[in-house]
Amino acid sequence: MSGLLEGKIALVTGAGHGIGRGHALELAKHGATVIVNDLGTSLDGSGTGKVADEVVELIKERGGSAVPDFSDVGDEAQVDALVERAYEQLGRLDIVVNNAGIVRDKAIWNMSVEDFDLVMRVHVRGTWLLSRAVARKWREESKATGGAVYGRIINTTSGAGLQGHFGQTNYAAAKAGIVGLTQTLSLELASIGATVNAISPGGRTRMSASMPGSAPAIEPGELADDVFDPKDPSLGSPVVAWLASPEAGHVSGQVIKALGENIQWLQGWQPVATVSSGGKRWDATKLGHTMGVDVFGTRASGLRFGG
Residues designated as active site? 158, 171, 175
Looking only at the bridges linking them, the beta strands covering 65-69 and 9-12 are: unpaired
Output the 3-class SS for the chain: CCCCCCCCEEEECCCCCHHHHHHHHHHHHCCCEEEEECCCECCCCCCCCEHHHHHHHHHHHCCCEEEEECCCCCCHHHHHHHHHHHHHHHCCCCEEECCCCCCCCCCCCCCCHHHHHHHHHHHHHHHHHHHHHHHHHHHHHHHHHCCCCCCEEEEECCHHHHHCCCCCHHHHHHHHHHHHHHHHHHHHHHHHCCEEEEEECCCCCHHHHCCCCCCCCCCCCCCCCCCCCCCCCCCCHHHHHHHCCHHHCCCCCCEEEEECCEEEEECCCCCCCCCCCCCCCCCHHHHHHHHHHHHCCCCCCCCCCCC
